[in-house]
Structure 1
């Protein structure tokens, strides 16, 4: 995912499905300097590269 798209998703009033390694996540915050995102998974929060996030559709 591009950093700009992650910003749009984070600021959107709609719920937009985003996945990290096939698991649904919630973007908590973004870091422009190193292009990372703090995301919440079922197991907790982690920091990942924004480029590793995928926008998708819930089944």
Structure 2
């Protein structure tokens, strides 16, 4: 996923169908400096993690 699209999804009030390694996630924040995003699995909101933008896929 590209940075611009990830930022659009993070800022949108509408939930997008995004996965990280096949797991549905919610994008919290996009870090422009190192091309990572802060996400958490939809079923585990306490399990926040930073992942590379390249690991995200929009469906």
Task: Normalising by structure 1, report the TM-score.
Answer: 0.86
Q: How many residues are aligned here?
A: 56
Structure 2 residue aligned with 1:52: 55
Unaligned 5+ runs, structure 2: none
Aligned position for 1:38? 38
TM-score by length of 2: 0.86
Q: Which runs of 5+ in 1 are unaligned?
A: none
1:13 positional shift: 2.0
Superposition RMSD in Å: 1.2
Which secondary structure state, in structure 1, belongs to the residue aligned with residue 37 of structure 2?
A: strand
1:30 CA displacement:
1.1
Query: C-alpha separation between the residues in 1 aligned to 2:14 and 2:38?
Result: 19
How far apart, in 2, do the equivalents of 1:32 and 1:19 lie?
20
